[in-house]
A and B are shown apart, each in its own frame.
Chain A
Amino acid sequence: MALAHVSRRVISNQIRCFAAANQETSLVHVEKQFEAIEPEKRDKDAFMAAIATFKEKRGRTHVEFINTALKYVKEYGVHKDIDTYKGLLEVFPKGKMIPQTVFQKVFLHYPQQQNCAVKVLDEMEWHGVQPDKEIHDIVVNAFGEWNFATKKVKRMLYWMPKLKHSNKYLDRRHVEGKSLSPSELAGIALKMMSRDAASSISLLKLSDSSDPQQKWLATSQSPMQQILISELRKGDEVFVDAAKVYLQDRVIPFITLTGNTKLEPLNEFKNEDMDEDYTNWYADWQKQRGEAKRSIHEQDHETIFAMGAMYKDDNATAIRWIDNLQKTNPNMENLRFRVRLEGNPIISRK
């Protein structure tokens, strides 16, 4: 905490020195303030220090400052932080821009400032940052209760919470704002993608904590998939392919173990005509009840036998993954594998 405070003061001093040095020569564009900080030191503290420095000077150029600062939010890594947007919106003067007369209420009062505020809120919405009551109060104190910018924040406050959990398969509270290791992210991604409720996700660590590069293999497989593998014949071909999935804004590479489908394409056409023949109804029903049902893994174009993720996406690591999977699927010894992650596919003949 004390260290952060000290670093913030150092950075503010840096910016002030830079501004002072250039003041006697010419007007310096606000961009230069942000450019002046070295890339390694571009973080939240630096950004908030820049805002604090601007507020001290209290110039008339707050719209220009905010527009410029918005261009740098991603570079400074603060695009997902609500405090950043609060800081930027706080730059607007309070009370001065609230419309007083009927004409001011009807027409867009302080249009440049309102558009600037809406740009900030748009950026916030684009990066998926959930607004809170404080953001609403800041905008209301600046622009009044029912203005263009305030309506924007009210709409955000209404819709964003409703759409926050629209992905039913992922609890984003486990992902956002957390620094997760690649294996943890892979586990969450596999859980999101595994739609068979009986799937179990396992993690095999190949190195201990002293190893600088953590080596791990993750697998997601359900009992049904194990049955499907056990039913394959000797010499059947299975493929290991790579794919990518998005977890919020993070890209997670994963692999799949698939085989050719053995079933007819699924005919989802339902016959509307009622079957009026009741002879052998009970026996037919009993028989149909005992028949094998198509599982979710048996798709029209392929059958998925397992999914996984690895610390390194190459064929050699994929072979290790297959070896690990063989411990729980003995029939895999009799199958032929095509590992197609990179370059020439490795064909293993067993």
Chain B
Amino acid sequence: MHRALIRLQKLHKCNVRCLSDAAKSKEVAGISEKSKFAIRTLDNTSSIEKRSLSRGFAMNKFEKDFMIYPEYTDSDDVRNIEGFVDVLRKSLELSVDSKLIEKEGKLASDTIEALRSNAIFSLAIGKYFDGIGMCNKDLSKVFEELSVDWNVYTTSHISLLVANILTIYGSDEQKSKYLGILGSGKLRPAVAIVKDTNGGVCEQTAGPGGKSMLNGQNIRVMGHHNANFYVVFGNNNGEKTCFLLDEAELGTTDKIQFTRDETIGLKGIDVGRIELTALVTDKNLLGTPGHGSEIASELVGSGRMPFAAATIGMARRALRELSIWCNRTPSRQNDRTTLADDSRSQRIVTELALKVYALESSLYYLSGLIDEGLSVVVDIENSLLSIMTRDVLQAVISAQLELVGVAASDASFPHEKLFRDVTTLLSIIDEGADVEQIGLATIATWATSTSHKRVVSTLKRWLKNEKEADELRNPGLSHYIAEHAHPSLQLACQELEFSMSRINNVVSKLLTSQGKNIEQDYGSLEALVNVLKNNLVMVSTISRASRSYSIGLRNADIELAWATIICSRLSRATWFELDSLSDLFGLVRFNPSLLNAGRAVFDLGGYIIESPLEKNW
């Protein structure tokens, strides 16, 4: 058995070496400074803990400024955005009819006009181009309202994405040409769905004089109804380049033919395929040739915070409806009590409410951090937000199914439309966090910053093991984070500190035993990503609850209780993950059971286990 394991380990190392060699042969385009959300490693030029929250935590380094929850400096800013959102909410209440949207397959003209008059299409466009140029906190507040109908949200989301990439990567000519009409709603963009190929290809054939021919079939796009502007990615010998195609400027020989797909949800926006033939020049090029992958990551990355905000808005509405429903529905046990008195209902809603609190705290923490304009890298935190968003969406649906019962599937109730819309939304938006990228970016930064050296001698490693195991069980305090938060959160801060110390301990151990082979260890990377996500939630909930209580916000005492519950649970979850990572003999870690079952299903064409009733003679 032991010999078999050693052979398996050697096989792993051979695979890794082959892949590493393969990687060296092709130059990959680096990430430019323009990109805010693409995941990267950080160099050692200045302290990591001041530049990246998650990486600093992984190294057990603490920067006290991260414990200050970002906020507006002026109360007038809060009143302004509340007033803006109030007006938006009222106009959406009047103009959005979900049943009509589904029936007609598009947003009503009233709704489009409401969005346009509330400047939703120009939120992310700078003031120089007649936009509002909202900061991230304001954007999050606005997007909370837009999820009143997911079709409305998706329409606004796409405009926001296009405005973002034009602002970052567009030439001055492209910005002045497109941003204005995008803000007025005259430009109706559609974007090629980055995560979905589904047999679609878009080949770019470069020609002389900076011109290229784009030929695409089956390219999946999503966008406004009757889109007249497309963002596509052309492939040229493995290099992706981003192109903008304005229908008004297409030549006589150019063609874009859109076929709409019948989706189960999001019937108010266009999801479909395009066949395209177009001659493109530098004017259609976005960014530089070969940087399409970076633009695609930025496209996806810049949509994560609005998506999280919309999810929070939807979850708040769902919780309010669930509260009304459960308070008025008799319980199954007893006619004189309600569903709200049942422990089971309370348990389900507890889970959901805590997740929403965690997501909301993390979202506004991140948006505030970016708005402060410090040189902080938020690539990892932004990706972690997408994991939490998916989690909350699934939790909302699950809670409604469990509590609302049959009404959840009844077409006369709004729930089933919500489920359909969310299902379609998750299938087209947000490819989900890349666990390997996040994990490796963190570990690579850790390795370079701590100048890590592998301990080769087995005896030394074995002697260190005992000390490290003890440190894992009883980490001890070194940063005294509790001094930077309200005294009621002392326990929560201690849990956070224990987590930080354990992560540092375990990452050191992993690198010592595996070195670069950790690239192949998906289990470890996934555990590390979960731990980073838990850390982000702990920091944001502690700093938020501390601020709320200190300034005397309403229900701040409830926030303290919730923050303490969240931190104690997440700290235990982190401990569990790290404990399983640090097992001494490598039996669990090197057991590739995490990936093998999936591999077998793919290789052998399905679920290949024999029926339990099968006999062999």
> What residues of chain A have their CB less than 8 Å away from a CB belonging to chain B?
161-165, 168, 171, 197-198, 223-224, 227, 289-293, 295
Q: Given A198-B327, A198-B328, check contact A224 B554 (CB 8 Å).
A: no
Say whether B334 contacts A293, CB under 8 Å.
yes
Say whether B552 contacts A290, CB under 8 Å.
no
Q: Does B2 contact A (CB under 8 A)?
A: no
Q: A197, A290, A291 — which one has the most chain B CB atoms within 10 A of its CB?
A: A197
Say whether B334 contacts A290, CB under 8 Å.
yes
Say whether A293 contacts B337, CB under 8 Å.
yes
Say whether B338 contacts A168, CB under 8 Å.
no
Q: Given A289-B333, A290-B333, check contact A198 B338 (CB 8 Å).
A: yes
Q: How far does the Cβ of B415 sit from chain A's closest Cβ, in whole Å?
A: 20
Say whether B328 contacts A227, CB under 8 Å.
no
Say whether B336 contacts A292, CB under 8 Å.
yes
Chain B residues positioned under 8 Å from A198 (CB to CB) = 327-328, 338, 340
Q: List 28 A-B contacts (CB under 8 A).
A: A161-B551, A161-B552, A162-B552, A163-B552, A164-B552, A165-B552, A165-B554, A165-B555, A165-B556, A168-B555, A197-B323, A197-B327, A197-B340, A198-B327, A198-B328, A198-B338, A198-B340, A227-B335, A227-B336, A289-B333, A289-B334, A290-B334, A292-B334, A292-B335, A293-B334, A293-B336, A293-B337, A293-B341
Considering the complex of A and B, which 10 residue pairs feature the smallest CB-CB distances, nearest first?
A161-B552, A162-B552, A165-B554, A198-B327, A197-B327, A292-B336, A198-B328, A289-B333, A164-B552, A293-B337
Whose C-beta in chain B lies nearest to the C-beta of A286?
A: B333
Chain B residues positioned under 8 Å from A165 (CB to CB) = 552-556
B328-347 contacts to A (CB < 8 Å): 328, 333-338, 340-341
Chain A residues positioned under 8 Å from B556 (CB to CB) = 165
Within 8 Å by CB of B336, from A162, A163, A224, lies A224
Report how far A289 CA is from B341 CA in the complex, Å.
Answer: 12
Chain B residues positioned under 8 Å from A292 (CB to CB) = 334-336
Q: How far does the Cβ of B552 sit from chain A's closest Cβ, in whole Å?
A: 4
Chain A residues positioned under 8 Å from B341 (CB to CB) = 293
Whose C-beta in chain A lies nearest to the C-beta of B551?
A: A161
Report how far A26 CA is from B357 CA in the complex, Å.
Answer: 68
Q: How far does the Cβ of A11 sit from chain B's closest Cβ, in whole Å?
A: 30
B542-577 contacts to A (CB < 8 Å): 551-556
Report how far A289 CA is from B333 CA in the complex, Å.
Answer: 7
Chain A residues positioned under 8 Å from B555 (CB to CB) = 165, 168
Whose C-beta in chain B lies nearest to the C-beta of A289?
A: B333
Say whether B334 contacts A291, CB under 8 Å.
yes
Report how far A128 CA is from B513 CA in the complex, Å.
Answer: 64
Report how far A172 CA is from B487 CA in the complex, Å.
Answer: 27
Q: A161-B551, A227-B336 are in contact. List 18 more A-B contacts (CB 8 A).
A: A161-B552, A163-B552, A165-B553, A165-B554, A165-B556, A168-B555, A171-B554, A197-B323, A198-B328, A198-B338, A224-B336, A227-B335, A289-B334, A290-B334, A292-B335, A293-B336, A293-B337, A295-B336
Whose C-beta in chain A lies nearest to the C-beta of B556?
A: A165
What does the 1/0 interface line of B302-345 toward A look like (CB < 8 Å)?
Answer: 00000000000000000000010001100001111110110000
Q: How far does the Cβ of A228 sit from chain B's closest Cβ, in whole Å?
A: 9
Say whether A223 contacts B328, CB under 8 Å.
yes
Report how far A161 CA is from B551 CA in the complex, Å.
Answer: 6
Report how far A168 CA is from B553 CA in the complex, Å.
Answer: 11
Range of interface residues on chain B?
A: 10 to 19
Q: How far does the Cβ of B421 sit from chain A's closest Cβ, in whole Å?
A: 29
Chain A residues positioned under 8 Å from B554 (CB to CB) = 165, 171
Q: How far does the Cβ of B323 sit from chain A's closest Cβ, in whole Å?
A: 7
Chain A residues positioned under 8 Å from B553 (CB to CB) = 165
Q: How far does the Cβ of A63 sit from chain B's closest Cβ, in whole Å?
A: 32
Whose C-beta in chain A lies nearest to the C-beta of B336?
A: A292
Report how far A295 CA is from B529 CA in the complex, Å.
Answer: 47
Q: How far does the Cβ of B230 sit from chain A's closest Cβ, in whole Å?
A: 47
Report how far A331 CA is from B338 CA in the complex, Å.
Answer: 22
Chain B residues positioned under 8 Å from A223 (CB to CB) = 328
Chain B residues positioned under 8 Å from A295 (CB to CB) = 336
Q: How far does the Cβ of A305 sit from chain B's closest Cβ, in whole Å?
A: 15
Whose C-beta in chain B lies nearest to the C-beta of A163?
A: B552
Chain A residues positioned under 8 Å from B338 (CB to CB) = 198
Q: How far does the Cβ of A94 sit from chain B's closest Cβ, in whole Å?
A: 24
Report how far A289 CA is from B335 CA in the complex, Å.
Answer: 11
Chain A residues positioned under 8 Å from B340 (CB to CB) = 197-198
Report how far A263 CA is from B553 CA in the complex, Å.
Answer: 40
Q: How far does the Cβ of B608 sit from chain A's closest Cβ, in whole Å?
A: 43
Whose C-beta in chain B lies nearest to the C-beta of A292?
A: B336
Whose C-beta in chain B lies nearest to the C-beta of A168?
A: B555
Chain A residues positioned under 8 Å from B337 (CB to CB) = 293
Q: How far does the Cβ of A9 sit from chain B's closest Cβ, in whole Å?
A: 29
Report how far A67 CA is from B176 CA in the complex, Å.
Answer: 62
Report how far A292 CA is from B338 CA in the complex, Å.
Answer: 12
Q: How far does the Cβ of A161 sit from chain B's closest Cβ, in whole Å?
A: 4
Report how far A197 CA is from B340 CA in the complex, Å.
Answer: 9
Q: A161, A198, A223 — which one has the most chain B CB atoms within 10 A of its CB?
A: A198
Whose C-beta in chain B lies nearest to the C-beta of A167?
A: B554
Report how far A189 CA is from B553 CA in the complex, Å.
Answer: 21
Report how far A293 CA is from B331 CA in the complex, Å.
Answer: 12
Report how far A342 CA is from B308 CA in the complex, Å.
Answer: 57
Whose C-beta in chain A lies nearest to the C-beta of B557?
A: A168
Report how far A197 CA is from B337 CA in the complex, Å.
Answer: 12
Report how far A305 CA is from B336 CA in the complex, Å.
Answer: 15
Report how far A293 CA is from B338 CA in the complex, Å.
Answer: 11
Q: How far does the Cβ of B112 sit from chain A's closest Cβ, in whole Å?
A: 33
Whose C-beta in chain A lies nearest to the C-beta of B550?
A: A162
Chain B residues positioned under 8 Å from A290 (CB to CB) = 333-334
Chain B residues positioned under 8 Å from A164 (CB to CB) = 552
Report how far A295 CA is from B551 CA in the complex, Å.
Answer: 36
Q: How far does the Cβ of A171 sit from chain B's closest Cβ, in whole Å?
A: 7
Chain B residues positioned under 8 Å from A162 (CB to CB) = 552
Chain B residues positioned under 8 Å from A171 (CB to CB) = 554
Q: How far does the Cβ of B372 sit from chain A's closest Cβ, in whole Å?
A: 20
Report how far A167 CA is from B532 CA in the complex, Å.
Answer: 38
Report how far A292 CA is from B337 CA in the complex, Å.
Answer: 8
Report how far A291 CA is from B333 CA in the complex, Å.
Answer: 9
Q: How far does the Cβ of A92 sit from chain B's closest Cβ, in whole Å?
A: 25
Whose C-beta in chain B lies nearest to the C-beta of A227?
A: B336
Chain B residues positioned under 8 Å from A293 (CB to CB) = 334, 336-337, 341
Report how far A165 CA is from B327 CA in the complex, Å.
Answer: 25
Q: How far does the Cβ of B489 sit from chain A's closest Cβ, in whole Å?
A: 16
Chain A residues positioned under 8 Å from B552 (CB to CB) = 161-165
Q: How far does the Cβ of A217 sit from chain B's closest Cβ, in whole Å?
A: 23
Q: How far does the Cβ of A219 sit from chain B's closest Cβ, in whole Å?
A: 16
Q: How far does the Cβ of B609 sit from chain A's closest Cβ, in whole Å?
A: 38
Chain B residues positioned under 8 Å from A224 (CB to CB) = 336
Q: How far does the Cβ of B439 sit from chain A's closest Cβ, in whole Å?
A: 43
Report how far A60 CA is from B341 CA in the complex, Å.
Answer: 67
Whose C-beta in chain A lies nearest to the C-beta of B554?
A: A165
Whose C-beta in chain B lies nearest to the C-beta of A291?
A: B334
Whose C-beta in chain B lies nearest to the C-beta of A162?
A: B552
Chain A residues positioned under 8 Å from B551 (CB to CB) = 161
